[in-house]
Amino acid sequence: MHQLFSPSSTRKPMVHNPMWSICERMAEVQTLLDDHIAGGKHTAADVISKAQAILSEPALQRAMFDVGYFPTNTPPVD
């Protein structure tokens, strides 16, 4: 299996890059929305439920906090 690396000189694996984690999870939500719109593969309630579950994952919220998505006065996610 190939390992993806960030473009930095340290060659840190991208799986540890919080922005990469955010992009992956948002892509999952976008896929749910696209499938629902394209052919009703998922009900609207399923899409909302799954999107809420993804967006409330502690790892995703931590990544979003780390990259500055939340205002600076927001307490960090444990």
Q: Where do the structural domains in the chain lie, given as residue ranges?
A: 43-68
Helix (H, G, I), strand (E, B) or coil at 13: strand
Give the model's pLDDT for residue 77: 66
Distances 54 to 8, 19, 29, 58, 59 between C-alpha atoms, Å: 28, 15, 8, 9, 10
Give the model's pLDDT for residue 9: 46
How far apart CA 25 and CA 15 sit, in angstroms, is: 12
- Per-residue model confidence as pLDDT tens digits over 1-51: 344 444 554 555 555 788 888 999 999 999 999 999 998 888 889 999 999
Q: Using an 8 Å Cβ cutoff, are 78 and 64 in contact?
A: no
**Tokens standing for 7?**
């473009």
Entry field: residues in the chain: 78
Give the model's pLDDT for residue 73: 76
Give the model's pLDDT for residue 2: 42
